[in-house]
Amino acid sequence: MPGIHSAIVAVGNELLCGKTTDTNGSWLSERLAFLGAPVLRRWVVGDHSSEIQDVVSVAMDIAELVVITGGLGPTQDDLTRQAVADCLGLKLISDPELLQDLRDRFRVRGFAKLPRSNPVQAEVPEGAEVIPNLRGSAPGLWIDVGNQVVVLLPGVPQEMRGMFDEALEPRVREYFGSRLAPLAQRTFHTTGILESVLDERVGTVRDKLPEGVEVAFLPDLQGVSLRISTSLTTERDRTRLDDAEAVLEPIIDPYRFEAVSGDLVESIARELMDAGLSIAVAESCTGGLMAKRITDLPGSSAYFRGGVVAYADPIKIDVLGLDERIFIDNGAVSKRVAVGMAQGVAELMGADVGVGITGVAGPEGGTSTKPVGLVWYAASVRGRSVFEKKVFFGDREAVRERAGQAAFRLVFRMLTDSV
């Protein structure tokens, strides 16, 4: 394969027993990918010398840059330095500058002498270069083993990240130079289309995509993001992403929204502010979820009037002003109730846009004609109402999340004149 690859080894019993989630792995993976040394494989191992050695030796077989995090502290279970030295056949020697530096740090904190366990932190494999740690006591190490580099960093995320940005990234650039293949990427957020359907449609134009452009689907309960990426070796490579976007545009356009956060509510907020409109929501099955999502955004008071969680039917009648007969004729989960809730809350709260949503979130309460997952939702803008119904699958949480998102999508389409 052209270019170089990285491998990452995270060391620590706290990771293996599940007490701590390995966030260093994904953070480093992203940085290394964009730097042009994508990660091929990651490991998590415990504080056991043989485990560390087994894994580091495989990592060195498959990658030019091996980054090892954790296990550099002063305690007895911190074995990474020794294990890596053993694996590379190097002796550990005490670095006089590091030792002095450790002494100075502890003196500042009121220790006349170093705690007995700390001097091991000044021991480095012969030939290793020290990467200073400005935020803690465990220094990092850069070990050049000839055409290949092994790097040791502390496991504390804040220390590791600082050392990567300040010292490691420039060193990697300098060491590997033109062997690096930095990446460019672009992400398109969509909602309202299933991953499998989107994949099928992208499949129909896959042969029109420029070579070297990779497409990834990133689904969650609120939609699917499509990410295109390509390596950035010449200036011409940049135009490949433009070309790929032009190919994908007709497919994603009906479902696409733009938001830095990836949240459709951000796009709705922008549309509301641009048009000078206010919004209010009336929720039954989502039970406050839509109001919460709107108010998750700082500054939402500029356009959000408020909401009514009309969970019990009498609230829909007494507070939102729906006619009791609608319930007798149609039931609470119906088009007329959704529309009535949207119009009622807009009127009650003096909002330009009203949203209504009513459905069966489950797990109980479904019938043959109104199954769990059935949701009616409506949006009303200054008297004009649109509505939809869908059957959402998944458990209670999934139904609620997906239904809320579908209702937001209806509002978005109404605000952008596509419905």
Selected binder of a second copy within 166, 258, 296, 323 (CB under 8 A): 296
Contact positions with a second copy (CB under 8 A) in 24-83? 25-33, 38-46, 51, 55, 58, 73-77
Selected binder of a second copy within 92, 93, 99, 136 (CB under 8 A): 136
Under rule CB under 8 A, residue 292 binds a second copy: yes
Residue closer to a second copy by CB (options 127, 363) is: 363
Structure tokens at 123: 């021991």
Give the shortest CB-1-to-a second copy separation in angstroms.
11
Interatomic CA distance for residues 285 and 390, integer angstroms: 13
Binding-site residue total for a second copy (CB under 8 A)? 111
Residue closer to a second copy by CB (options 126, 395) is: 395
User: What is the CB neighbour count within 10 angstroms for residue 31?
Assistant: 19
Name residues whose C-beta falls within 8 Å of residue 248's C-beta, 6 or more positions apart in sequence.
Answer: 188, 202, 205, 209, 215, 226, 228
Measured distance between the N- and C-terminal CA atoms of the chain, rounded to whole angstroms:
49
42-64 as b/e: b if 16+ CB within 10 A: bbbbbbbeebbbebbeebbeebb
Selected binder of a second copy within 57, 94, 100, 117 (CB under 8 A): 117
Residue 279 bridge partners (DSSP): 304, 353
Residue closer to a second copy by CB (options 240, 316) is: 316
Interatomic CA distance for residues 313 and 332, integer angstroms: 7
Under rule CB under 8 A, residue 330 binds a second copy: no
Residue 357 main-chain phi, psi, to 5 deg:
-145, 130
Structure tokens at 224: 């699917």
Distances 26 to 46, 230, 259, 315 between C-alpha atoms, Å: 18, 19, 23, 47
Contact positions with a second copy (CB under 8 A) in 343-362? 348-350, 361-362
Q: Where do the H-state alpha helices sit in 331-418?
A: 335-349, 396-415
Contact positions with a second copy (CB under 8 A) in 194-223? 194-197, 199-200, 203, 216-219
Give the shortest CB-200-to-a second copy separation in angstroms.
5
Residue closer to a second copy by CB (options 146, 299) is: 299
Interatomic CA distance for residues 279 and 271, integer angstroms: 11
Residue closer to a second copy by CB (options 106, 144) is: 106
Selected binder of a second copy within 3, 182, 287, 331 (CB under 8 A): 287
Under rule CB under 8 A, residue 90 binds a second copy: no
Which region among 91-99, 174-182, 288-296, 336-344 touches a second copy (by CB under 8 A)? 288-296
Under rule CB under 8 A, residue 109 binds a second copy: yes
Contact positions with a second copy (CB under 8 A) in 301-320? 301, 304-312, 314-315, 318-319
Under rule CB under 8 A, residue 234 binds a second copy: no
Structure tokens at 39: 């990660």
Under rule CB under 8 A, residue 19 binds a second copy: yes
Contact positions with a second copy (CB under 8 A) in 240-279? none
Residue closer to a second copy by CB (options 85, 351) is: 351
The mark string for 138-177 relative to a second copy (x by CB under 8 A, - otherwise) is ------------------x-x---x---------------
Reference 364, options 395, 333, 407; nearest CA is 395
Residue closer to a second copy by CB (options 90, 306) is: 306
Selected binder of a second copy within 80, 118, 190, 230 (CB under 8 A): 118
Selected binder of a second copy within 127, 250, 254, 363 (CB under 8 A): 363
**Residue that has been written with the tokens 């940085």 in this structure:** 31
Interatomic CA distance for residues 52 and 59, integer angstroms: 10
Give the shortest CB-363-to-a second copy separation in angstroms.
6
Under rule CB under 8 A, residue 290 binds a second copy: yes
Interatomic CA distance for residues 257 and 253, integer angstroms: 8
Distances 97 to 103, 133, 246 between C-alpha atoms, Å: 10, 14, 57
Residue 280 bridge partners (DSSP): 306, 354
CA atoms within 13 A on the CB side of 180: 19
For residue 282, give the DSSP letter: E
Residue closer to a second copy by CB (options 312, 416) is: 312
Residue closer to a second copy by CB (options 82, 137) is: 137
CA atoms within 13 A on the CB side of 340: 25
Q: Where do the H-state alpha helices sit in 206-256?
A: 236-252
Residue closer to a second copy by CB (options 146, 369) is: 369
Residue closer to a second copy by CB (options 77, 324) is: 77
